[in-house]
A and B are shown apart, each in its own frame.
Chain A
Amino acid sequence: MSIIIVEDKCVGCGLCIKSCPYDAIKRVDGKVRITDDCRMCGVCLPVCPVDAIERVGKEERVGDLSEYRGVLVFGEQRNSRISPVVYELIGKGRELADKIGEELECVVLGEDVTEEAENLINYGVDKVYVYDDPSLAVFREDPYVDIIVDLLRKIKPNIFLLGATAIGRSIAPRIASRIKTGLTADCTELDIDPETGLLLQTRPAFGGNVMATIICPRSRPQMATVRYKVMKRAERRPGYKGEVVKMRFDPEEVRDRVEVLEISDIGEGGPSITEADIIVSGGRGLGGPEGFKIIRELADLLGGAVGASRAAVDEGWIAYPHQIGLSGRTVRPKIYIACGISGSVQHLAGMKGSEFIIAINKDPSAPILKIADMGLVGDLYEVIPKLIDRIRRLKKG
């Protein structure tokens, strides 16, 4: 398959040159040409006023896509509790399903999960497939992938969404590879193209410097992992009518090649950063690991969690699970207090969804101060101890 310019039709206006996201259309000897950089994205096709750009060659493997219907959400759970991201996926999934006039479904795997799974219906799910089996008590890729692939082949969903959690990210590529469909990682926005009905999957690329919208036109399901704390959580809809389908599988039939020997909590007490309403974060500006003592003190006083920039994690001042940003976690607290963080795009990618951002930075030109709702120019080592003092006094009454 390739994209060509029909020379007889081309009037040389150059509109396509401007439209190409890959800089792959050039004017050579006065003629507009498509170069080897072309990724065949097709953005230029509708731009041409004289329809001189065409897609030629065979379109590969187009099966009958109309038999694929419904939006399926992976109902990830831990310790028999449905993970928070699932409610976010259900919220978005409901919206997408309504737009294409199809059903919203959910699949839950685990042990003692039937009750939790049934409860999902109260959030607007039409059908929940439950695999409740003692052998699924602990997550392992192999059985999860085998069971989900089997389900996908049976129910043929149009769209399949998973949380971009460690589990979702680990199984989604295997599932997509097995059924040979497209998978978009870490989406922050999902919508339906009103013209084609295709899922528009938007995600950060190049370290969050640009956003890319991706489609999966010729294979099904259209699969995406979705960042947590980005989509709005589904509202409870008591009395919603849905169906629970108890599913069975033969443990002999699924593979199981990774044995879990031991599970230990990373937890350090207090709320986890993905759940916390308040996050106090420290960056390179702390100057050393001791800096996190006052960060922790302030977080504890406010009942919040401690976050960090990648610079602070790379320096070894705090453990990786605290890292917020593109290569760390996405958070969406009510209040985010950034201390000694410059505000690189990569860091912002993980926290700019916060409701209220307070930033303390010595450097008035630090980018974080441009996006903060309240930006304070000052030394964190002078300001925070004073703030801690005042909060203590206030609490004593």
Chain B
Amino acid sequence: MHGCGLKIIVCVKQVPATTEVEIDSERGTLIREGVESTINPFDLYAVEEAVRLKERYGGEITAISMGPPQAESSLREALAMGCDRAVLLTDKVFAGADTLATAYTLACGIRKIGTYDIIICGLKTTDGDTGQVGPGLAEELGIPHVSYVRRIHLFMDGQIVLERTLDDVYEKVRVHMPCLITVTKEINEPRLPSLKRKLWARKAQIKILRAEDLGGEADRFGLNGSPTRVVKVFNPPPRLGGRLIKGEPDMLADEILKKLVELNVL
């Protein structure tokens, strides 16, 4: 903390509003007719936590996103929820980034924003669905991270005490700032923005940064900077079902019992 509250950065991504994508089996392509976009649902928890921290400790929140120009609308959603500023990293050369290139690009953008105490990321995105960008970003910035954070206990003397889930255990940890955290859905209940803030967010200025503004190594952006390649997409093979049984509850219970005995459970 720098005497003027916390400097918080939240990473948000724009994703397709539905994951119900289908594959055109004849052509082997994704069917993407008129799919709308929205802020990644997991990132709402990151934004909400940032706003709650600000309410508790004072400070300033910057929302950052890398994406096409339309990703601006997700940043406006974050502004409406309570972020103060928004930065959009957008450039044709950023396209096709995998998690390594995304983390690198976000790191370049965050260095441009300036100093910060804490960076908050969502657990994962609903499209990429990897949860890799948060820890990767922390590595690019050379700061520690704590993933799966379910509660923030307190800030004190440049340190923060957190509770995280690690599979079958909860851990209480202490970490020095600056640091990065990824948060689970348990951490809060994201708010609905007020009409007043929505109106403000609609007009708020969003800072645009392009590749040349970021500096950095040009060949680490976008597809060129992505070591992974998708070679095939396909629908998962269906699991074929078995018997469908209809009838009185007594009969159904008998059927299950018979099966459980047959399967050596009882």
Contact = CB atoms under 8 A, between A and B. Distances in A.
Interface of A: 1, 18-23, 36, 39-43, 60-61, 78, 139, 141-142, 145, 165-167, 169-174, 176-178, 180-186, 200, 204-219, 255, 257-267, 272, 278, 302, 314, 320-321, 326-327, 334-335, 337, 346, 348, 352, 356, 358, 360, 364, 369-379, 382-384, 386-387, 389-391, 394-395
A32 to B, nearest CB: 15
A78 B249 CA distance: 44
B29 interface: yes
Interface in B146-175: 146-148, 161, 165-175
B199 interface: no
B259 A173 contact: no
Contact of A386 (B135, B174, B249): B249
A258 B144 contact: yes
Interface in B1-46: 16, 19-23, 26-30, 32
For the complex of A and B, the 6 pairs showing the least CB-CB separation, nearest first, are A207-B19, A182-B227, A185-B130, A386-B253, A182-B228, A382-B249
16 contacts: A40-B223, A141-B135, A173-B103, A173-B134, A174-B139, A183-B99, A207-B129, A209-B19, A215-B229, A216-B227, A261-B161, A265-B168, A370-B241, A378-B247, A384-B253, A391-B260
B96 A261 contact: no
Contacts of B114: none
A206 B21 contact: yes
A214 B139 CA distance: 23
Contacts of B179: 257
B195 interface: no
A180 B20 CA distance: 33
B170 A170 contact: no
B174 A258 contact: yes
B173 A373 contact: no
Given A21-B230, A216-B228, A387-B253, 5 more contacts: A42-B229, A177-B100, A302-B265, A374-B256, A382-B249
Nearest to B262: A356
Contact of B171 (A18, A213, A263, A272): A263
B173 A23 contact: no
Contacts of B113: none
A60 B219 contact: yes
B132 A205 contact: no
Contact of B233 (A181, A211, A216): A211
B174 A259 contact: yes
Contacts of A391: 257, 260, 266
A206 B235 CA distance: 11
B136 A174 contact: yes
B226 interface: yes
A382 to B, nearest CB: 4
Given A60-B219, A209-B20, A320-B184, A371 B136 contact: no
B131 interface: yes
Given A165-B167, A173-B103, A373-B241, A178 B139 contact: yes
Most central of B27, B175, B226, B256 by chain A CB within 10 Å: B256
A392 to B, nearest CB: 11
B55 interface: no
Contacts of B168: 78, 265-267, 272, 321
Contacts of B227: 180-182, 216-219
Contacts of A171: 135
A273 to B, nearest CB: 10
Nearest to B124: A327
Contacts of B192: none
A166 to B, nearest CB: 4
B241 A369 contact: yes
Contacts of B255: 374, 376
Contact of B240 (A337, A364, A369, A371): A371
A29 B172 CA distance: 63
Contacts of B96: 39-40
A211 B236 CA distance: 6
